[in-house]
């Protein structure tokens, strides 16, 4: 336009506004004398309209770019579009149509299935405790106890009881000898993260969720692994004391392991014995077997102790869990004691020092008479975590409440 209108402005820049875009048209620019100065084909024109307050009324026949004194051009002077006058402008088909979106979504889902994690990632290094063997762990624990290990076996739900028991063991100066058989990988990692080297998992690991339900098949599978762990440690040449973790030490039990016997254990009967009772295997009860507790056992690495462990394993195979019997490992242990009598040198620990829970928590008179003699208290003859914890609290034996920082595991 600068060639033909060097000094003219069609509209003031301050008052122009853009109208809606029209479709492709043919444009011819005419001078006032009707001479054609330029023509353009098939480009989109955006009409610029003056601001509303500057507009002047014009007749319907007047073209947008005609001056008022001009006559309208004839029909043959302008190119005519081949389409109807009121036809919608031709536009390219948009890509974001519904079928296209569905196809794109299907492709993304397919890629997600084929490459679920996206680009390759560097996996975290495997935990060193997964390859930590019982042989390694036993050597580690036995090094602090002149060849003697204190063993416990737990799954995740028992961690608070383990911590409570450990506080009492630590007070007796024996914590460094402790080795925990973790029955699931999460428990293995948690213990070793706080207390490196003191936990090991012996595969295969049982169901950790069912293992804490007393009388369940999971509980049976959990407890029935105990003699295998003990036998393996004996075969490595170490002495081992096994404890359930619902116990509390009031004193060091090792001075009570007198003599040189194969196996030491505690009675599970509530009947009061004389202070100078026999240390031989007690007579069988109504069920035809003794009532020795498998919760606390001390074993020397002798052939007699190994024989008892093998017999215990055999008895467990002969007395599997059933919905009717809902057994645990203790009856099989007592049958093994009875069937190996005379082949294994056994020693029954004094009742006053190692009472069963049915005696200690229920016979206040006996507790007063034997005060100062108690060494290990077992919180049995009661089921359920909350009930056990309440009973311990009632007797000021739930140590984690006020002394949790004394546990090698810290506060759980």
Task: Using CA atoms of 143, 248, 256, 224 in order, give the dihedral in degrees to the nearest 10.
Answer: -70
Q: Which residues contact 289 (CB under 8 A, 6 or more apart)?
A: 331, 334, 335, 337, 338
The strand pair at 346-348 and 263-267 is best described as parallel
Q: For tokens 């309440």, name the residue.
A: 390
Instruction: Say if residues 327 and 319 touch (Cβ distance below 8 Å).
Output: yes
The model's pTM: 0.69
| pLDDT tier, 47 (very low <50, low <70, confident <90, very high otherwise) | very low
The closest of 187, 185, 242, 100 to 409, measured between CA atoms, is: 187
In Å, what is the CA distance from 358 to each residue of 63, 71, 268, 279, 335? 111, 121, 8, 20, 22
- Tens-digit pLDDT profile for residues 174-212: 999 999 999 899 999 999 999 999 999 998 766 555 545
> Residue 381 phi/psi, 5° resolution?
60, 30
The closest of 153, 154, 378 to 266, measured between CA atoms, is: 378
Domains contained in the chain, CATH given: 13-74 (no CATH), 130-406 (3.90.550.10)
Distance CA 232, CA 181 (A): 12
- Tens-digit pLDDT profile for residues 100-136: 777 778 888 777 767 656 555 555 567 889 999 999 9
The residues pairing with 347 across neighbouring beta strands, listed in sequence order, are: 264
- Tens-digit pLDDT profile for residues 208-248: 555 455 555 555 565 678 999 999 999 999 999 999 999 99
Instruction: Say if residues 21 and 48 touch (Cβ distance below 8 Å).
Output: no
Instruction: Say if residues 255 and 349 touch (Cβ distance below 8 Å).
Output: no
Q: What is the mean pLDDT of residues 346-372?
A: 98
Instruction: Say if residues 129 and 192 touch (Cβ distance below 8 Å).
Output: yes
Q: Which residues contact 288 (CB under 8 A, 6 or more apart)?
A: none
Task: State the average pLDDT for the chain.
Answer: 80
Does pLDDT of 77 surpass 50? no
Q: For tokens 């737990």, name the residue.
A: 154
Residue 127: its pLDDT value, please?
A: 84
| pLDDT tier, 363 (very low <50, low <70, confident <90, very high otherwise) | very high
Pull the structure tokens for residue 37. Answer: 């100065």
Q: What is the mean pLDDT of residues 362-383?
A: 97
């Amino acid at each position: 336009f600068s060639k033909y209108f060097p000094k003219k402005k069609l509209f003031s820049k301050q008052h122009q506004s853009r109208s809606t875009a029209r479709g492709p048209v043919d444009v011819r620019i005419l001078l006032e004398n009707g001479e054609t100065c330029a023509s353009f084909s098939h480009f989109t024109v955006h009409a610029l309209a003056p601001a509303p307050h500057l507009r002047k009324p014009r007749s319907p026949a007047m073209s947008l770019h005609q001056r008022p004194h001009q006559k309208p051009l004839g029909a043959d002077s302008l190119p005519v579009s081949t389409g109807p006058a009121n036809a919608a402008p031709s536009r390219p088909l948009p890509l974001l149509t519904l079928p296209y979106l569905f196809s794109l979504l299907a492709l993304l889902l397919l890629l997600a299935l084929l490459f679920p994690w996206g680009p390759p990632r560097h996996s975290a290094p495997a935990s060193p405790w997964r390859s930590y063997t019982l042989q390694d762990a036993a050597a580690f624990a036995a090094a602090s106890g002149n060849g003697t290990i204190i063993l416990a076996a737990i799954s995740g739900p028992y961690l608070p009881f383990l911590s409570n028991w450990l506080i009492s063991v630590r007070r007796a100066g024996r914590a460094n000898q402790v080795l925990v058989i973790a029955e699931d990988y999460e428990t293995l990692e948690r213990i070793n993260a706080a207390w490196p080297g003191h936990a090991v998992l012996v595969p295969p690991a049982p169901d950790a969720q069912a293992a804490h339900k007393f009388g369940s098949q999971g509980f049976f599978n959990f407890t029935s692994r105990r003699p295998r762990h003990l036998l393996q440690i004996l075969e490595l040449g170490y002495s081992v004391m096994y404890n359930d973790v619902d116990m509390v030490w009031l004193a060091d039990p090792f001075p009570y392991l007198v003599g040189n016997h194969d196996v030491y254990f505690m009675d599970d009967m509530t009947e009061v014995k004389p202070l100078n009772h026999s240390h031989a295997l007690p007579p069988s009860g109504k069920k035809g077997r003794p009532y020795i507790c498998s919760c606390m056992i001390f074993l020397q690495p002798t052939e007699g102790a190994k024989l008892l462990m093998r017999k215990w394993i055999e008895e467990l195979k002969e007395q599997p869990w059933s919905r009717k019997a809902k057994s645990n490992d203790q009856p099989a242990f007592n049958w093994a004691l009875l069937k190996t009598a005379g082949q294994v040198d056994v020693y029954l620990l004094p009742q006053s020092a190692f009472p069963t829970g049915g005696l200690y928590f229920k016979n206040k008179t006996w507790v007063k008479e034997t005060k100062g003699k108690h060494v290990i208290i077992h919180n049995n003859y009661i089921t359920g975590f909350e009930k056990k914890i309440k009973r311990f609290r009632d007797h000021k034996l739930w140590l984690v409440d006020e002394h949790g920082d004394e546990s090698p595991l810290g506060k759980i």
